[in-house]
Structure 1
Amino acid sequence: MKLEMICTGEEVLAGQIVDTNAAWFASTMMEHGIECQRRVTVGDRLEDLVSVFEERSHHADIILVNGGLGPTSDDLSTEAMAITKGEVLVENSVWRERLEDWFTRNGRVMAASNLKQALLPASALMIDNPVGTACGFAVKHNRAWFFFTPGVPFEFKQMVVEQFIPFVKQHFNITGDVALRKYLTLGQGESALADELEKIELPEGTTLGYRSSMPHIEIKLFARGKMAIAQLDKVEAQIRFLLGNALVADEKKSLAEEIHSLLVGTGLTLSVAESCTGGMIASQLIDFPGSSSYLDHGLVTYSNESKVKVLGVKPETLDDHGAVSIATVEEMAKGVRAILDSDYALATSGIAGPGGGTDEKPVGTVAIALATKGGVYSQMIRLPRRSRDLVRSLSTAVAFDMLRRELLGEAVIIDYGSIGRFKK
């Protein structure tokens, strides 16, 4: 079975918004053993939509079309499919009633333009949208089934899970002989990782892929076919050995997600004091539901005065060593941990740039500390020639990895390769 996706919208094509739907869709389908073999992005132009629908209908078995089902003049997916099929648009009475009921229940007056969302190609099968005003629909043309969904992410994702995947399984024989494993790395560039992993003699049907999502590089191990899947554990063991300290998580999108999984439900607690990272550590953790069970507080102590008055950093420490120093960041970590007697505390202080550096402490110099009930670990890292955002995100990742390693009983301070360190 050949699965493809067509993404519509001028804002997607022009790069005004990032198409997160496509990435989520491909990943979700892979979890069900189905590879998305091609993705096409097309703007809101009727002739382009018709051309793409016709052309791909001869090559794919099923095509998910995302977007263009709204009530406005630039929502053209339904009309384009009708033209492609050579059919008229017919009002679907079931969906019209649903629309009228939805607006009545929500105390709103339905605009005349919303009736456009009840028009479907004559041969189309209506697909329910339980959380929005645009119904989906499915229609067969040449070789392919086209399955239309709205572009609103919340609506799209629910329809994929509740309608699209069952539709695929109903119409096609899904063998599921595809497997994917993902490994998150930190501190090594893509080329360096590839050079190291090229030492592995991959079995037939097995491939390695790389995705840069700074501050991480994600490595993807694909296996296609039962023989390749049977050898995944052997290949993974070689990957783990060769990656060493660069490997920081499995099947996670970020180190924040890894820390969340290690802390949630354990009864352990964490406090955070941030200067150069400006709340990034705490913000990444509270993206995950349940983080309140372990995150006591996150403080952004940006000024020296706040470090002294809020965290108890000694004025003479700042005078003698400066805000970006091992001494200061250790006192920050101990101070924030002591407020609620948290089990762990992280602290950062650095020069994110583009200005503010000196010969002794250039831009990209960051001090990070991890305080525990038994002591404090700290290091100064060097991130030259990085953007301000990357200095902050890399510093956040290193802080998370220090905590991760402590939670797993591993050495907290390590060499990351491309991330330099000041020696104490």
Structure 2
Amino acid sequence: MKLEMICTGEEVLSGQIIDTNAAWVANTLMELGIETHHRITVGDRLEDLRDAFIERSHHADVIIVNGGLGPTSDDMSAEAMALAKGESLIENEEWRDRLISWFSKNNRQMAKSNLKQALLPESAVMVDNPVGTACGFRVKLNKAWLFFTPGVPFELKHMIKEQFIPFIKSEFGISENTALKKLLTIGHGESSLADNLAELTLPAGITLGYRSSMPHIEIKIFARGDKAINQLAEVTKAIKSILGIAIVAEDRPTLAAEIHHRLFQSGFSLSLAESCTGGMLTSQLIDFPGSSSYLHHGLVTYSNESKVKVLGVNPQILDDHGAVSIATVEAMARGAREILDSDFALSTSGIAGPDGGTEDKPVGTVAIALATKHVVYSQMVKIPNRSRQLVRSLSAAIAYDMLRRALLGEAVIVDYPSITRFAK
């Protein structure tokens, strides 16, 4: 089966918004062993959409069309598909009734323009959308099924999982069992990870993939077929043995997710004192429901004055060592932990750039500390030639990894090949 995707919308084409829908769809289907072969983005122009539908329908077996199902004049997917088929738009009575009922149930006045969302190409098969006002539909054109989905991410995800995946499994007889194992790494480049695993002999049906989502590199171990699935655990064990401390989580998208998993309802508590990361550590944990079970507070103490008055850092430490120093982050971590007697506290202070560096402490220099009730661990790292955002996200990942290792009873401070660690 050859799968393609056509993304619509002038705001996507012009770069005003990032097309996270396409990435999510491709990743979700890849985890089922379904590879996306081709993807294009088309603006809100009727003839361009029509031409794209016709042209790609000669090459693909299935095309996911995302967006353009709304009630406004720039939502043209249904009309363009009707033109491509040489058909009229016909009101789908079932969806019209659903629209009227939806607005009535939600005590909202339905605009006349919403009825446009019930107009489908004459040969279209309606696809249900239980969480929105834009129904999907599918149409056969030339050799391809075109499957139209709403642009709203929440609605799209429901439709792909509940409607599209069952459709292609039924239509194309996709019945082979698959399994996927994900290993998360930090501090290692994609090429070096691949080099380390180059000598590994993989059984038939098992393949490796790499996904860069900085500050992480994710290794995907994909197994197709029952025989390969039965060997997946053994292959995973071998990869973990080769890569060692490079692996920081299994089947988690980020280190923040791993920390949340380990702290949630664990009985441990955590406090955060952030300078250069500016609340990033705190924000990433608060993304997860239930983080209040362990997160005491997150303090952004950006200025020296706040470090002194909020965290109780001795001004002499700042005078003698500067804000970006082992002594300062250790004092910050102690101060954050002691406020509510937390079990753990993390602190960061660094020069994220692009300016502010010195010869001794260039841009990318970051100090990180982890305080427990008994000891404080700290390190100073250098993350050169990286953007301000990447310096901050890498710093947050290293801080999380220190905490993760402490929770597991492992060495808290380790060397990462792509990150220089200063001597204390």
Q: Same fold (TM over 0.5)?
A: yes
Q: Residue in 2 aligned with 1:215?
A: 215
Unaligned runs of 5+ in 1: none
How big is each residue's C-alpha offset from its partner over 1:222-249, in whole Å with a ceiling of 9 and x where there is no partner?
3344444443333322321222222111
Which residue identity is paired with 1:29?
L
Q: Residue in 2 aligned with 1:182?
A: 182
Q: Report the Cα offset of residue 107 of structure 1.
A: 4.2
Q: Report the Cα offset of residue 359 of structure 1.
A: 2.0
- In structure 2, relative to structure 1, the CA distance for the partners of 1:369 and 1:109 (3 Å cut) is same
Alpha-carbon distance in 1 for matches of 2:101, 2:177 = 44
Q: Residue in 2 aligned with 1:150?
A: 150
Alpha-carbon distance in 1 for matches of 2:55, 2:361 = 58
1:23 matched to 2:23: yes
Unaligned runs of 5+ in 2: none
How big is each residue's C-alpha offset from its partner over 1:260-294, in whole Å with a ceiling of 9 and x where there is no partner?
11111212110000111111100111111111111
Alpha-carbon distance in 1 for matches of 2:127, 2:387 = 46
CA contact (8 A) 1:368 1:380 kept: yes
SS of the residue aligned with 1:207? strand
Q: Residue in 1 aligned with 2:97?
A: 97
1:4 matched to 2:17: no
How big is each residue's C-alpha offset from its partner over 1:172-229, in whole Å with a ceiling of 9 and x where there is no partner?
4222344332221111122222222212233344333222211112222233444444
Alpha-carbon distance in 2 for matches of 1:94, 1:386 = 54
Q: Residue in 2 aligned with 1:128?
A: 128
Aligned residues: 424
1:393 matched to 2:396: no
- In structure 2, relative to structure 1, the CA distance for the partners of 1:192 and 1:169 (3 Å cut) is closer
Which residue identity is paired with 1:414?
V
CA contact (8 A) 2:129 2:135 kept: yes
CA contact (8 A) 1:189 1:418 kept: yes
Alpha-carbon distance in 1 for matches of 2:29, 2:400 = 30
1:83 matched to 2:96: no
Q: Report the Cα offset of residue 17 of structure 1.
A: 1.5
1:310-321 equivalences under 5 Å are 310-321=310-321
Bigger shift: residues 53-62 or 408-417: 53-62
How big is each residue's C-alpha offset from its partner over 1:134-167, in whole Å with a ceiling of 9 and x where there is no partner?
1111222333322211101111112222322333
Which residue identity is paired with 2:389?
D
SS of the residue aligned with 2:193? helix
How big is each residue's C-alpha offset from its partner over 1:374-406, in whole Å with a ceiling of 9 and x where there is no partner?
211111111122222111111111000000111
SS of the residue aligned with 1:231? helix
- In structure 2, relative to structure 1, the CA distance for the partners of 1:177 and 1:59 (3 Å cut) is farther
1:135-174 equivalences under 5 Å are 135-174=135-174
- In structure 2, relative to structure 1, the CA distance for the partners of 1:179 and 1:37 (3 Å cut) is farther
1:234-313 equivalences under 5 Å are 234-313=234-313
Alpha-carbon distance in 1 for matches of 2:5, 2:387 = 34
Alpha-carbon distance in 2 for matches of 1:198, 1:12 = 38
Identity of aligned residues (%): 71
Which residue identity is paired with 2:399?
A
- In structure 2, relative to structure 1, the CA distance for the partners of 1:212 and 1:31 (3 Å cut) is closer
Q: Residue in 2 aligned with 1:72?
A: 72
Q: Report the Cα offset of residue 323 of structure 1.
A: 1.5
CA contact (8 A) 1:34 1:174 kept: no
Alpha-carbon distance in 1 for matches of 2:178, 2:12 = 29
Q: Residue in 1 aligned with 2:38?
A: 38
Q: Residue in 1 aligned with 2:416?
A: 416
Alpha-carbon distance in 1 for matches of 2:289, 2:38 = 33
SS of the residue aligned with 2:146? strand
CA contact (8 A) 1:30 1:179 kept: no
CA contact (8 A) 1:135 1:150 kept: yes
CA contact (8 A) 2:176 2:224 kept: no
Which residue identity is paired with 1:400?
Y
SS of the residue aligned with 2:244? helix
Question: TM-score by structure 1 length?
Answer: 0.94
Q: Residue in 2 aligned with 1:353?
A: 353
Alpha-carbon distance in 1 for matches of 2:127, 2:421 = 56
CA contact (8 A) 1:348 1:367 kept: yes
Q: Report the Cα offset of residue 113 of structure 1.
A: 2.3
Which residue identity is paired with 2:408?
L
Alpha-carbon distance in 2 for matches of 1:354, 1:89 = 55
1:119 matched to 2:142: no
